[in-house]
Structure 1
Amino acid sequence: MTSLPGSGDDGGSAAQPQTLVCARCGTTEQAPQPTWTCSVENGARRYFCDRCSRENLRAIEGRLDSAWW
């Protein structure tokens, strides 16, 4: 099972929703979306909205860093 940073058991206090920002276009969401893509590049997580993910699907599947798209 995988989880987002900060989503573990923290003694019973309510977890704050994580705001995600698309690394390509800047679109924001208040919670993880099933249509967004998460990429780890140089040890850092980068999130891409569904529109940017669809537009760059071949590059993502080819495992190219986003700097190449």
Structure 2
Amino acid sequence: MTSLPGGSDHGCSATEPHPPVCARCGIPADGLQPTTWTCSVENGIRQFFCDACSRENLRAIEGRLDSSGW
């Protein structure tokens, strides 16, 4: 998981009342807790990214770039 610098992963729980949707490609998660997905807080907004989009953009994620920079 990624979080804001100096912060915690507060708010990145996948326990939403409905499955999250990938913020990059729009695919819905198979369940309520997509363990292979990435959670990111960008500009104070929690976003989830599927495992495929996470793998494709690993360098950007590691560099802590907002998804708009991908």
Q: TM-score, normalised by structure 1?
A: 0.74
Conservation of the 8 A alpha-carbon contact between 1:18 and 1:32: no
Once the two structures are aligned, what percentage of the paired residues are identical? 61
Residue 34 of structure 1 deviates from its aligned partner by 1.2
**Which consecutive unaligned segments of at least 5 residues does structure 1 have?**
8-15
Give the structure with the larger strand fraction: 1
Give how far 1:33 is off: 1.2
Higher relative contact order (CA 8 A, sep 6+): 2
**TM-superposed deviation, 1:17:** 4.1
Report the count of equivalent residues. 59
Q: Which stretches of structure 1, 4 residues or more, deviate above 6 A after TM superposition? A: none
Structure exhibiting the larger radius of gyration computed from Cα positions: 1
Q: CA deviation at 1:19?
A: 1.5
Q: Cα RMSD over matched residues? A: 2.1
